[in-house]
Amino acid sequence: MRLKNFSQFNKINEGWNGWDDDYSDGSENYSEPKEPKEIIYKIVELCAEYETAIFRKLSDKRPYVFTWSELGISDFYDYAILPYGYDEDEDGKHSFIDTNEFKFEDYVVENYVNDNLNNLKYGKGIADYESGDSNFILIDEDLKNKLIEDTEITFKGEAYLDSLK
């Protein structure tokens, strides 16, 4: 069997740009995540299954729990890196952000919290957590124990904050 020369190879592959058919324009195929102007709270532990994350305020290292059960998943789409999908109709090819690929990840939740500080419902301690009236709550010892008992939050490693000792 004889190998084809380069010019024959180019004719065979004419029009192929190295991208999957779904991404045939060859451009960057992921959305740019929205980022906050400033990071005030740093995520230290994420438990997406329980719609819960532990944060630390950078200025004083105090721990907070953020719960998002009352939010819609779509509230987080702008903060995630999501692939573009493509549809084609009589007007041509159209791109859209494919939200089926969305996953709760640390950076998504952290960016959401820091970009929505004015919209969070602040609370303090286990009473505010249990009432459901707050979604960003300063953690005390009782709330720490409740989170360990009710979720997969461990407070180990970096998430085990000095102020909880």
Residue pair 63/41 in contact (Cβ under 8 Å)? The answer is no
CA angle 15-22-86, nearest 5°?
120
> From first to last of its 165 residues, what are the pLDDT tens digits of the chain?
444 444 444 444 444 444 444 444 444 587 888 999 999 999 999 999 999 999 999 999 999 999 999 998 899 989 998 887 777 778 877 677 767 778 889 999 999 999 999 999 999 999 999 999 999 999 999 999 999 999 988 887 644 555 444
Given this model, what pLDDT does residue 25 score?
Answer: 46
Q: Kindly state the helix (H) or strand (E) to which residue 115 belongs, with its residue range.
A: helix 106-115
* Rounded Cα gap, residues 158 and 110, in angstroms: 16
Q: State if pTM tops 0.85.
A: no
How is residue 120 written in tokens? Answer: 């969070």
Residue pair 70/85 in contact (Cβ under 8 Å)? The answer is no
Given this model, what pLDDT does residue 45 score?
Answer: 93
CA dihedral 73, 79, 83, 88 (to 10 degrees): 70
